[in-house]
Amino acid sequence: MPDVRHQGMKIAAWSVVGITAVLAVVLASRFGTDPALAPSPLIGRPAPQVSLTRLLGEGNVALDDFGDDIVVVNFFASWCLECRLEHDALVATADSFAGGGVSFVGIAFQDDPGDSIEFLEDEGMSPATEYLIDEGSRAAIAFGVFGIPETFFIDGAGTVVGRIIGPTDALTLGSSIDAIRRGEDPGQQVLGNTRSAPGDS
């Protein structure tokens, strides 16, 4: 005797299983490509042409002012805990590579300039680093910043060749520069959490 209701249940069950499987794959693929952690499309492309005001001193600095130097661009803010954690490493690495064809740029992200200066006075600053103000988040948007700290590497030809998400360390910074010097691309590295705004966790 044909069982219409039973057939309907079977169809329903298999439909649920099928939809679930597809949904799982889609969700999984979407989670796996968290935009904040996905490879930056900037890598391999010319660095954004931004010109920013000095945080300390006067005048503007453009990224192409550094000529053939390798440029390390770090986004930081006084309200960012992870930025304080990585600051010693940035200062040490900038000092260590000073005069060796490597320039460091620190860009204050959505921060009051007074707070940024106080941050640098508290945590220390490298004389080999240009500290800049990102008015209107122009540089952050041009670099595709989701949160800070984030650090980008630009090779001597002006191409973005690396990105570090999260608080970095001296060994990662130095070995990335070493790699660029050897003609290799350090690519993207995820080292920890970032913050998008004050109070963000």
Q: Under the criterion CB under 8 A, does residue 178 sit at the interface with another protein?
A: yes
Task: Note whether 28 binds another protein by CB under 8 A.
Answer: yes
Binding flag, residue 55, another protein (CB under 8 A): no
Residue 35 contacts another protein per CB under 8 A: yes
Which residues, 6 or more positions from 112, have their beta carbon under 8 angstroms from its beta carbon?
78
Answer for the pair 165, 191: CB distance below 8 angstroms, yes or no.
yes
- Residue ranges of alpha helices (H) inside the chain are 4-32, 81-97, 113-123, 138-143, 170-181
Site membership for another protein, residue 57 (CB under 8 A): no
Burial grade of 85 (CB within 10 A; 0-12, 13-18, 19 or more): middle
| Total of chain residues touching another protein, rule CB under 8 A | 84
Interacting positions 67-96 with another protein (CB under 8 A): 82, 85-86, 88-89, 91-93, 95-96
State yes or no: residue 168 binds another protein (CB under 8 A): yes
Q: Which is nearer to another protein, 57 or 80 (CB)?
A: 80
- Cβ closer to another protein: 130 or 150? 150
